[in-house]
Structure 1
Amino acid sequence: MDAERQERTTETIPLFPLQTVLLPGATLPLHLFEPRYRQLAVDLLTGTVPDRRFGIIAIRTSAVREVEHLDHVHAIGCTALLGESERLPDGRFDIITRGERRFRVLDIDNSRAPYLVGTVEWVDDDPLPPAAGRAVAGLRDAALSAHGAYCEAAWHRDSWAAPESETGPGALSYLLAADCLLPLADRQQLLEETQPLRRLRMVSRMLRREAGFLTKLRAVPAPPPELIQLGLPASLN
């Protein structure tokens, strides 16, 4: 990649490593208790970090106690937009974030700020093939059916709803996955897939599989640790 193209397509953003995957359009509450991420919250709120955005990347293994190198995290992450926030009396923060845009981490710097800073390039979906309308309709119906089967098995009827009918295929797969408690590996696979129709097929298969597990076990899935309550730490970092 030549210098001109790299300058045009890369950006530097704060990074927050977690043992979870943030998907575009998904909501993620976080409890910030370490001093460096308290400082990140302050920088986001004061505008030191512009646009109230930072990057969330999934840690590859729970054996990693401190992220220092690229091979400690998955290459593809998602930007998080800071929404509601509350500063607690002892300086900790409870915040709500929403996933926005995918990126690929090119470099990690742990000396530039108290928190990690990464050089990233943006990852967008591939364009839909010409005359994809019929395929989109079929895959959309299959994905919505799989989502309904999962939610019927997992949640109370009044606690979920199908996405709006005008939601495009690219966003639809993420919204359906965000509504369900998929394993980290599945969520990361969905995050990395850049072909919308293939991603719809993937999410349909995953939700059908999980719905089958729930029905067979007659059990309701437990939420991941970071969603249990905001008062508990959501990160090793």
Structure 2
Amino acid sequence: MDGPSYRSPVPTTIPLFPLGTVLMPGSSLPLHIFEPRYRQLTVDLVTGAVPGKQFGVVAVREGWTPDADGLAGLHGVGCTAELLDVRRLPDGRYDIVTRGVQRFRLLELDDATKPYLMGTVEYLPDDEPSHAELTPALSAAARAAHRRYCATAWKNGEWSEPGGDVDPHLLPHVLAADCLLPITDRQRLLEQTCPTERLRLVRALLARETGLLSQLRAVPAPMTSFAVEHSSN
């Protein structure tokens, strides 16, 4: 998981899956795979042609596409996804379940080597925490903001509080996972490498969204069962 590691990043090459959403470490992401190149990626993950059953998820910039705009069409930081479960449908499509593992910075794109995009990335560790002694208080404040958001946004039984054993470095990503934050906010959380600042940020974002929901007397629309890849067939 994306925890307290301070090693220098080393570039590596991984398959990429551009999406209209932001995956964060520790978060679950179900996907409905229908485009041929990503069907092939799924096969390569299952058969071991892609080692470790992991690929990179990176958010597409609004109004851009990686096919037309290349590297400029994607946000610069993404997250690896670990394949957890696969269900093949009769027509050759797949429903898969993944979990976010580790952040990376996207350096280069390769659209020629494989049917799907490949990317040269460097993994993005956390910085050494500033004011680490504040971590317990900041964690408690972030959890409280999450409870207030969920009590406002969801019905009883539609959400649960993360366990007390969740690492504080990972906690902001887990708290944000079941909250409907805008993509820009989710990307800010993903890119924040200071653990204490990340706790502050998620608390502030959830408090803001709770206030907006309360003022509008509205609740978010339900999430769809499966996300789909950004690019069309």
- Normalised by the length of structure 2, the TM-score is 0.91
Q: Distance in 1 between matches of 2:61 and 2:69?
A: 12
Shift of 1:68: 5.0
Alignment of 1:21-36 (within 5 A): 21-36=22-37
| Shift in CA distance, 208/107, structure 1 to aligned 2, threshold 3 Å | same
Say whether the 8 Å CA contact 2:44–2:50 is kept in structure 1.
yes
Indicate the residue corresponding to 2:88 in structure 1. Answer: 87
Indicate the residue corresponding to 2:137 in structure 1. Answer: 138
**Residue type of the partner of 1:59?**
V
**Residue type of the partner of 1:221?**
P
Larger proportion of helix: 1
Residue 144 of structure 2 aligns to a residue whose secondary structure is: helix
Q: Structure 1, unaligned stretches of length 5 or more? A: 1-7
Instruction: Report the count of equivalent residues.
Output: 224
Alignment of 1:66-215 (within 5 A): 66=67, 68-129=69-130, 132-133=132-133, 135-215=134-214
Runs of 4 or more, structure 1, over 6 Å off, are: none
Residue 67 of structure 2 aligns to a residue whose secondary structure is: coil
Deviates more, 1:70-79 or 1:214-223: 214-223
Q: Distance in 2 between matches of 1:54 and 1:233?
A: 15
Say whether the 8 Å CA contact 1:68–1:110 is kept in structure 2.
no
**Residue type of the partner of 1:21?**
V
Say whether the 8 Å CA contact 1:126–1:195 is kept in structure 2.
yes
**Residue type of the partner of 1:57?**
V
Q: Structure 2, unaligned stretches of length 5 or more? A: 1-8
Residue 20 of structure 1 aligns to a residue whose secondary structure is: coil
Indicate the residue corresponding to 1:3 in structure 2. Answer: none
Task: Please provide the CA RMSD for this pair.
Answer: 1.6
Shift of 1:42: 0.4
**Residue type of the partner of 2:23?**
L
Residue 169 of structure 1 aligns to a residue whose secondary structure is: coil
**Residue type of the partner of 1:170?**
H
- Normalised by the length of structure 1, the TM-score is 0.89
**Residue type of the partner of 2:214?**
T
Indicate the residue corresponding to 2:61 in structure 1. Answer: 60
**Residue type of the partner of 1:29?**
P
Say whether the 8 Å CA contact 2:60–2:66 is kept in structure 1.
no
Q: Distance in 1 between matches of 2:192 and 2:135?
A: 16
Identical-residue share of aligned pairs (%): 50
**Residue type of the partner of 2:150?**
C
**Residue type of the partner of 1:211?**
T
